[in-house]
Chains A and B, each alone.
Chain A
Amino acid sequence: VQMTQSPSYLAASPGESVSISCKASKSISNNLAWYQEKPGKANKLLIHSGSTLQSGTPSRFSGSGSGTDFTLTIRSLESEDFAVYYCQQYNEYPDTFGAGTKLELK
């Protein structure tokens, strides 16, 4: 399953809201996760099952979608949110990941 993530880069300011899209090449039900990657830190699972926040994920993060189209939304950006975000489908082997979205400070 190919995962197409967009945009590749996104510039925003603290306090703004942003959305990242992830499209699957075929239906994956809601078997989608979102991760955050930051330098020097282990990757962090933010959301699984399309919209379920992992324990410890701030409520300003939300996930939506099912089937082929998914969105990660971050409301009221904080400085710690500037990072790279990846989506991952786990509906069928092998798991596949999107190419990533780098969220940068404007």
Chain B
Amino acid sequence: QVKLLQSGAALVKPGASVKMSCKASGYTFTDYWVSWVKQSHGKSLEWIGEIYPNSGATNFNEKFKGKATLTVDKSTSTAYMELSRLTSEDSAIYYCTRPYYGSYDYWGQGVMVTVSS
């Protein structure tokens, strides 16, 4: 069955970067985009961007351009998102998802990122 397994929680200092992973299994990784979604504490969901593993093509929400970098490793069916120049506003749960005709049919369990000195 399809699974998206994300890396563990991260505690990072302001100004630093964090890189998280999303390992896909149960389907052909290169056939589907991978999207990333942010959920700030007690708030709703924001689409960050997406990457197509087969080509490395990306699309971003303007709000996250320069903040998020998306990459993949096709050999391990793993997608990565790196967030840079972290501030308290970046403290949130980050999900990887598999787009399905615009909606998202599978979600990772989420990575909690805490930005604190």
Contacts and interface: CB of A to CB of B under 8 A. Distances in A.
A45 B100 contact: yes
Interface in B67-96: 95
29 contacts: A33-B102, A33-B103, A35-B104, A42-B4, A42-B107, A42-B108, A42-B109, A43-B95, A43-B97, A44-B107, A45-B104, A45-B106, A48-B101, A48-B103, A49-B101, A54-B105, A86-B44, A86-B45, A88-B45, A90-B102, A91-B102, A94-B46, A94-B61, A94-B63, A96-B46, A96-B47, A97-B44, A97-B47, A98-B44
Q: Please tell me the size bucket of the interface on A.
A: 20 to 34
A33 B104 contact: yes
Closest 10 CB pairs of A and B: A90-B102, A33-B103, A94-B61, A97-B45, A48-B103, A95-B47, A43-B107, A42-B107, A99-B44, A94-B47
Contacts of A90: 102-103
A31 interface: yes
Dominant secondary structure at the A interface: loop
B63 to A, nearest CB: 8
Interface of A: 31, 33, 35, 42-45, 48-49, 54, 86, 88, 90-91, 93-100
Given A42-B4, A88-B103, A95-B102, 18 more contacts: A33-B104, A42-B107, A42-B108, A45-B100, A45-B105, A48-B101, A48-B102, A48-B103, A49-B101, A54-B105, A86-B44, A90-B103, A93-B59, A93-B61, A96-B47, A97-B44, A98-B44, A99-B43
